[in-house]
Structure 1
Amino acid sequence: MQDSMVKKMKDQLYVARAYYPSVAKLPALEKLSHELKQNIQEFERVLSETSTDKDLPLLIGRKLRKMEAAIAKAKLHPFDCNNIDKKLRQLVDLTEDEANFHMKQSAFLYQLAVQTMPKSLHCLSMRLTVEYFRSAPLDIEQSLAEKYVNPELHHFVIFSNNVLASSVVINSTVMHSQESRNQVFHVLTDTQNYFAMKLWFFRNSFKEVAVQVLNIEDFNLNNHNKATVLHLSLPEEFRVSFRSVDKPSAAQFSTEYMSVFSHSHYLLPRIFQSLKKVVVLDDDIVVQRDLSALWSLDMHGKVNAAPQFCAVRLIQLKNYLGANSFDKNSCAWMSGLNVIDLVRWRKQDITATYQRLVQEQLDTQEANSEAVMLRASLLAFQGLVHALDETWALSGLGHNYGLEVEAITTAAVLHYNGNMKPWLELGIPKYKDYWRKFLSRENLFLGDCNVNP
């Protein structure tokens, strides 16, 4: 058994603590009481410093024998079994409380780890920002201004506050493109990361593509409350649990991870007023195939071409979707790789539909519920989603350990949706190499900030 000595020590400490109160009450057993107390204190000290056998002190075998002997002596005396039983029950309750505390603490720390920007990436962003203001002005926008608004080119949009993640998305897309000259990438970020992004994409070239970095907080959009600053919101990820349709018994619950558009995505038609079509890429994806075929895709009059997620059907999300009308048999759709027809979006006024759905839920005092965002995103595109072929995108690399290698290697896009992003220490090791190979490691600040995903 792994760490069997530590487990044995914990068991002996547990028993010794149960006997000690009864022994200590009897003056005739003062010597045994002192011996038990010493052994308990020694075991507590050792176990506070180590949790594995290899870290135990050299003479631990002698300490175990001393504790065994003291417990054996205690068992020879006729104590009241009720007292021993009562003490054991108290210890069980305390142990359960401690275990519950550590489980909650572990869950909190895990959630904190996946939601907080790693210190190394924060350092990178700050160093790049400082370097931006130290450097000569970057005079590149004017020369590419025509490309940024040319609707005949292939425009990709990325919402991100992560320099490395957005760089990997662009690098992997360009590396697999047969013709990169016609590609334009628009990276929408926030003020905190804007200058870092600007410098990074100025100094890191990606063949012949144009990269435009935009600060979403700088936009003054029509019909937007001018007193409220626009904030960047990244694709929303949800962990949804629902009862299986095929096995409706109470015990048959499934849990899946979904990602959908955020508030920022619904500003696309207003931000890119001259464009007719864009491909929206999440910053937690890796491209493994040429995406140029998406620009000639027949979307059959739909607005959003997206990967279908038929592990989740809308009927299974009825608790999230409420009393709204929807096609119960249709599959949910996912963000990650989305072809957006901006012309039809404007004609259908999807943004207004989404905002109305959100406001309806806010009026019912569900403002803090994740269901508001999920419901509004899924319902806003009802009947307007064109399903991409399943070979276009494979999701789950941020939470599913069981994905097949063949499915990974044949997918055009790998989506690391879930908590275990590839740039985090918590990332699933066997999937990290697919992401790492598109990471540019030549920047000096990567070493200075100890960036080594």
Structure 2
Amino acid sequence: MKSSSSSYTLPAKRGWRGLVVAVLGLVILSMLVPLVFLLGLHNGFHSPGDLIKDQSLDSADQSAHVDDLMRILGPSLSKDVIGDFFNEADNETVARGAMQVIAEPKKGLPAHPVIVLRPLHDTNIIRVDSSVEVTEYVKGVIDDTSEKSCQLEFGSYCLWREENKEEMKDSIVKKLKDQLFVARAYYPSIAKLAAHDKLSRELKQNIQEFERILSETTADADLPPQIKKKLQKMGAAIAKAKSFPVDCNYVDKKLRQILDLTEDEAHFHMKQSAFLYQLAVQTMPKSLHCLSMRLTLEYFRSPSLHQDLLLAEKYFNPELHHYVIFSKNILASSVVINSTVMNAKETGNQVFHVLTDAHNYFAMKLWFFRYTYKEATIHVLNVEDLNVDYHDKSTLLRLSLPEEFIISFRGVSKSPVTRLRTEYISVFGHLHFLLPEIFPSLKKVVVFDDDVVVQQDLSPLWSLDMEGKVNGAVQFCAARLGQLKSYLGENSIDRNSCAWMSGLNIVDLVRWRELNLTGTYQRLLQEQLNMREASLRDVALRASMVVFQDMIYALDGTWALSGLGHDHRIDAQAVKRAAVLHYNGNMKPWLELGIPKYKGHWKKFLNLGDQFMSECNVNP
């Protein structure tokens, strides 16, 4: 029985093993054949876009890294809100079109929209109740045009790119790349035609020659001689390839593949450029950081800087003209003070209070000790040493600068491509609302942002009758509180009240104390934080606008002209007439990205001969 069992089991085992080997062979072949086809090995030449594919994989990893960095540097708002203000028939608001409000830090740039509004006539309206927050932004909901998509994704970088667009250079290199793409698309089909080996070899040689040239140069000036003849030769070969019957579907597929890969690469580079732009506008230039460090070091090397008691008395004299500047930038605050005193009829009654943080306090002290500004008095304050009553002082001191917000308007137009108009609104930061406590003996102060330049005498501001108002400011009536209603989260606001701008403000501290606006602000701030998942910076616009509702004294528009930090199209005569120029926006005059034609108004008030500026190579 044993032998009989063995004689039947052995053949069965052999047959089973053979079947396994056959199945494994089929599986391996089924995997190898598509792989060989995809890699272009069937014709002995690289498939079009193989190199680009490898690059695109690297770009994907880099893109993810850039995304992470942009999220870190982006605005602090964590939610996107899509809403529709125009639930009532309001012809005025409809005529003004929709707007998108984007919160961003003072020196920064926005990354994603926070509020998106659309006019009623639009066909793709998303109607969401203003109290509802949508946590996920729906792409393409505003418009599918490239320019709008760019602004939604990359923020004000796209505005800068549009204004600084240059004529395309290196056109021959571009033509080389175009011909190389087309030749790569046609080559595999021509290589299959046995009767056209000569054309196949010619195409392959031209492709290899073009790849070699493009690997060695990226500019027309570096191209080898006889390049035009090479272009003509490639063009003739491509023309011959097009004249033969080829698999059009294959060529179409290859060209589309190249197009998709090129678009992905272009999108990656745009994202990277937007990140670098954002990094440039949010970080302090190395030269300015050097200046602050050198001045701080020199402060501790110098003998004790004694303060004149007579000057100390001026700090609290309510009969003098007091100006307040919130700044961490030595050059910026110096330009504000220098431009003010240079255009003032009388400087002996001027006192400038510069509020800064501990990192820049000693550098500021030494700078303003070394320089005199006619007869004006300079008082440098460290906000961390302030003796004020506030529920969270540590948080407050990190937010000493004014806050900037972006509003993008889209006008109502029948044109399929409607351009967005972007404006920057700057409002008081949290430290501004402690002015009555910081200066308890003062009656009035003029508050400056540090990105302003004064061009005229400001003494008439002190004789203004503010009619019981608290804050004298230039209004921004292109944005009314009614249009910002869902963002402000208030049902009691006056729909027709205009937004207002910081930069130049005359503040009646006596009236402020009577109305206890500081207490009102703190109450609104706490309510906003309880109602929303937001940070202190997020609610700055809401609280600032609501607190000063009906308390704004409208200054004439010639007192302050805004937009010099983002608008290239400001009229030269308007710049000349304005008493104060406000460089609100990302392109500050001390940055390399600053708008060149406006920089001269700022640079002429710099102390360019300073030793430390020279050592740190400070040349804005």
TM-score by length of 1: 0.91
In 2, the alpha carbon distance for the partners of 1:392 and 1:371 equals 29
The one-letter amino acid of 1:409's match is: K
Match of 1:236 in 2: 403
Alignment check: 8 A CA contact 1:149 1:275 kept = yes
Select 2:443's aligned residue among 263, 276, 279.
276
Match of 1:435 in 2: 602
5 Å matches for 1:57-72? 57-72=224-239
After superposition, the Cα gap between the structure-2 partners of 1:226 and 1:309, relative to the gap in structure 1 and judged at 3 Å, is closer
Match of 2:347 in 1: 180
5 Å matches for 1:68-147? 68-140=235-307, 142-147=309-314
Q: Deviations over 1:159-218 (max 9, x none)?
A: 001111100000000001111011110101111111111111111110111101111122
In 1, the alpha carbon distance for the partners of 2:528 and 2:316 equals 36
In 2, the alpha carbon distance for the partners of 1:228 and 1:419 equals 25
Match of 2:575 in 1: 408
Match of 2:211 in 1: 41
**Cα offset, 1:313, TM superposition:** 2.1
Q: Deviations over 1:403-430 (max 9, x none)?
A: 1121111111111111111111111111
Select 1:14's aligned residue among 155, 163, 181.
181
Deviates more, 1:68-77 or 1:91-100: 68-77
**Cα offset, 1:69, TM superposition:** 4.4
5 Å matches for 1:415-430? 415-430=582-597
In 2, the alpha carbon distance for the partners of 1:62 and 1:370 equals 62
Alignment check: 8 A CA contact 1:239 1:256 kept = yes
**Cα offset, 1:43, TM superposition:** 4.3
The one-letter amino acid of 1:105's match is: Q
Partner of 2:347, secondary structure, is: coil
After superposition, the Cα gap between the structure-2 partners of 1:246 and 1:82, relative to the gap in structure 1 and judged at 3 Å, is closer
The one-letter amino acid of 1:67's match is: M
Partner of 2:557, secondary structure, is: coil
Alignment check: 8 A CA contact 1:159 1:282 kept = yes
The one-letter amino acid of 1:282's match is: D
**Cα offset, 1:2, TM superposition:** 4.9
5 Å matches for 1:166-315? 166-225=333-392, 230-242=397-409, 254-315=421-482
How many residue pairs match? The answer is 449
Alignment check: 8 A CA contact 2:213 2:223 kept = no
Q: Which runs of 5+ in 2 are unaligned?
A: 1-167
Match of 1:163 in 2: 330
After superposition, the Cα gap between the structure-2 partners of 1:88 and 1:114, relative to the gap in structure 1 and judged at 3 Å, is same
In 1, the alpha carbon distance for the partners of 2:566 and 2:601 equals 15
After superposition, the Cα gap between the structure-2 partners of 1:36 and 1:199, relative to the gap in structure 1 and judged at 3 Å, is same
TM-score by length of 2: 0.68
Match of 1:444 in 2: 611
1:333 aligns with 2:503: no
Quote the sequence identity (%). Answer: 67
Q: Deviations over 1:345-386 (max 9, x none)?
A: 122222222222232222233415975221111111011110
The one-letter amino acid of 1:42's match is: R
The one-letter amino acid of 2:214's match is: E
The one-letter amino acid of 1:435's match is: W
In 2, the alpha carbon distance for the partners of 1:5 and 1:253 equals 34
Match of 2:138 in 1: none
Partner of 2:447, secondary structure, is: strand
The one-letter amino acid of 1:166's match is: S
Q: Deviations over 1:222-264 (max 9, x none)?
A: 23336657224311111112465999x9968643211111112
After superposition, the Cα gap between the structure-2 partners of 1:82 and 1:264, relative to the gap in structure 1 and judged at 3 Å, is same
Q: Deviations over 1:372-402 (max 9, x none)?
A: 2211111110111100111111111111111
**Cα offset, 1:21, TM superposition:** 4.1
In 2, the alpha carbon distance for the partners of 1:298 and 1:446 equals 43
After superposition, the Cα gap between the structure-2 partners of 1:144 and 1:356, relative to the gap in structure 1 and judged at 3 Å, is same
Match of 1:54 in 2: 221
Alignment check: 8 A CA contact 2:341 2:373 kept = yes
Q: Deviations over 1:297-329 (max 9, x none)?
A: 111011100111122222232342234321111
After superposition, the Cα gap between the structure-2 partners of 1:344 and 1:260, relative to the gap in structure 1 and judged at 3 Å, is same
Partner of 2:618, secondary structure, is: coil
In 2, the alpha carbon distance for the partners of 1:257 and 1:370 equals 16
In 2, the alpha carbon distance for the partners of 1:110 and 1:452 equals 20
After superposition, the Cα gap between the structure-2 partners of 1:100 and 1:295, relative to the gap in structure 1 and judged at 3 Å, is same
Q: Which runs of 5+ in 1 are unaligned?
A: none
Alignment check: 8 A CA contact 2:423 2:563 kept = no
Partner of 2:265, secondary structure, is: helix
In 1, the alpha carbon distance for the partners of 2:409 and 2:519 equals 29
Match of 2:101 in 1: none
Match of 1:353 in 2: 520
In 1, the alpha carbon distance for the partners of 2:208 and 2:419 equals 51
In 1, the alpha carbon distance for the partners of 2:441 and 2:543 equals 26
Structure 1 moving runs of 4+ over 4 Å: 23-30, 226-229, 242-247, 249-254, 368-371
Alignment check: 8 A CA contact 2:396 2:430 kept = no
Deviates more, 1:258-267 or 1:306-315: 306-315
In 2, the alpha carbon distance for the partners of 1:81 and 1:250 equals 34
In 2, the alpha carbon distance for the partners of 1:368 and 1:26 equals 67
After superposition, the Cα gap between the structure-2 partners of 1:103 and 1:192, relative to the gap in structure 1 and judged at 3 Å, is same
Deviates more, 1:277-286 or 1:318-327: 318-327
Q: Based on CA coordinates, which of the two structures has the bigger radius of gyration?
A: 2
After superposition, the Cα gap between the structure-2 partners of 1:281 and 1:369, relative to the gap in structure 1 and judged at 3 Å, is closer
In 1, the alpha carbon distance for the partners of 2:222 and 2:536 equals 46
